[in-house]
Amino acid sequence: MSDKAVPPRVVVLGGGSAGWITACLIHKEWGHRGGSVTLVESPEIGIIGVGEGSTPQLKALLDHLGIDEAAFMTACDATYKLGIRFTGWSERPGFESYFHPFPGPVDLHTEPDFVANCALARRGFEVPALPDDWFLAARLADGRKSPIPGPDFPFGPSYGYHFDAYKLGAFLRDWAVPRGVVHKAAKVAEVALDGAGDVAALMCEGDERIEGDVFVDCSGFAAVIAQRALGGRFIPFEENLFNDRAVVMPTPHSAPYRPQTDAVAMSAGWRWSIPLTTRVGNGYVYSSKHISDEAAEAELRAACGSSADARFLKMRVGRMEHSWHRNCLAAGLSQGFIEPLEATALHIVISTALEFVRAFERGGSTGEHRDRFNAGAAARYDGIRDYIVAHYRMSQRTDTPYWTANRTNPNLSDELKGMINAWFTQADIAVANAESYTEPPYSPMSWHALFAGYGTFPDPDKMRALPNGAIGADAEAIARMLDACVRNFPALPTPDPH
């Protein structure tokens, strides 16, 4: 689309996080050039209202839109997130819990040593290889520190947030509407197609007709346009990932908190614990083939001590074959969903919206750009799926049928098989990652953290000391350096529940 071309009239269906993020991003790109964005949502249907963790992409979104971080954090009861602590996924002594950090500039100094020690441990040498020991974010989270350093230390790690999912959409709405996004509260009863089969308009109850050039389906699992009207094909991931339900319940705020999501293994899944400023969000993501709703609720209640009402959710796990079909882009839960272990859903929404704008700018709805966009979106989902499957595959738990089924699940993509094979054959993980994935969604550091975090090394009785004269990385020097770095970060304020 040249500078002079008129941007399309965009209609977004859905006012959950995905709808408002997409509306904000598209309006920012095209609003000042005459493009219009109209968002339609049904207050009667409401939003899913879970999803309280982000990657650093949410911080990047705020920066991109020019939104004040403090205003967002106050409005959404948000806390910082420096990474995820996985607990109980491995029974190997010394690896019962590990921290997966978001990266930062200090890691450039420590990651090579971590990778070197992993290489030794993969060959059976007894050297420190737990990710926690090598990354600043792990130390900061453990010490309950803010990710934002003092002015003399410009090397803070990247970070995401925990936030109230109900409040995020409302916050973005209040940002977008004064800037020109048109907001309509209406229930879409029908999608009108034109003679060519493209979407012409959304027909609302009460007979309002909303026309547009491009329609973004952010209607959640209902996928009103992308699937129901246009018949787009959904590719399920149920053979790769077994979890299809979640039960959630809050607990009162427990201060002080750590700026991390806790992902704790359960008998038929895992539970999250997410600190907000006003409460702690808890959820158990489980496989309905392996545990009943009642038993899952009881297990979560016992683990987190909540007496609040439980809320159950069904998850449709997989992705659309084509995220962009005809003149409709699917974003958010209508586009696809991978269980929330890595909290990647909003990350994908942001990437989808930005990539769509770029592809559309290049060639409108012409096939070549749309196909390339779709291939990229599919690869992103599949790559994230693989990484999450790897968590289960490497988990080292065999104490329930659920964990055994995951450990022995034969449904691995060729790309994931390539990564696992590379790890066990002592091949270079960075090379394997680049060869397996065109645009790798996870870095070599993340793969190392996952494999090493679960203690994916030769059996403990086969591990041996380094031969005389050989040295591993100097873990003590790294520890001293990281401790010195930590002193530049202030303690987190104790939240004040209101």
Shortest gap between Cβ of 188 and ligand FAD (angstroms)? 4
Nearer to ligand FAD, 53 or 128 (CB): 53
Beta pairing class for 324-325 and 328-330: antiparallel
Distance (Å, whole) CA 127 – CA 473: 8
Shortest gap between Cβ of 129 and ligand FAD (angstroms)? 28
Tally of residues, the chain? 498
Shortest gap between Cβ of 192 and ligand FAD (angstroms)? 14
Nearest to 467 by CA among 111, 110, 123: 123
Shortest gap between Cβ of 462 and ligand FAD (angstroms)? 38
Shortest gap between Cβ of 217 and ligand FAD (angstroms)? 9
Shortest gap between Cβ of 348 and ligand FAD (angstroms)? 8
CB 287 within 8 A of CB 269: yes
Nearer to ligand FAD, 346 or 492 (CB): 346
Shortest gap between Cβ of 56 and ligand FAD (angstroms)? 12
> Which entry of 4, 81, 187, 314 is annotated as an active-site residue?
81
Nearer to ligand FAD, 42 or 79 (CB): 42
Nearer to ligand FAD, 120 or 218 (CB): 218
Is 81 an annotated catalytic residue?
yes
Residue 184 tokens, joined: 């309509």
Nearer to ligand FAD, 19 or 35 (CB): 19
Nearer to ligand FAD, 226 or 429 (CB): 226
Nearer to ligand FAD, 224 or 420 (CB): 224
- Which residues are near ligand FAD by CB under 6 A? 13-19, 40-42, 45-48, 50-54, 165, 187-188, 218-220, 222, 224, 246, 283, 313, 315, 332-333, 340, 343, 345-346
Distance (Å, whole) CA 271 – CA 275: 13
Nearest to 105 by CA among 160, 156, 159, 56: 156
Active site residues: 81
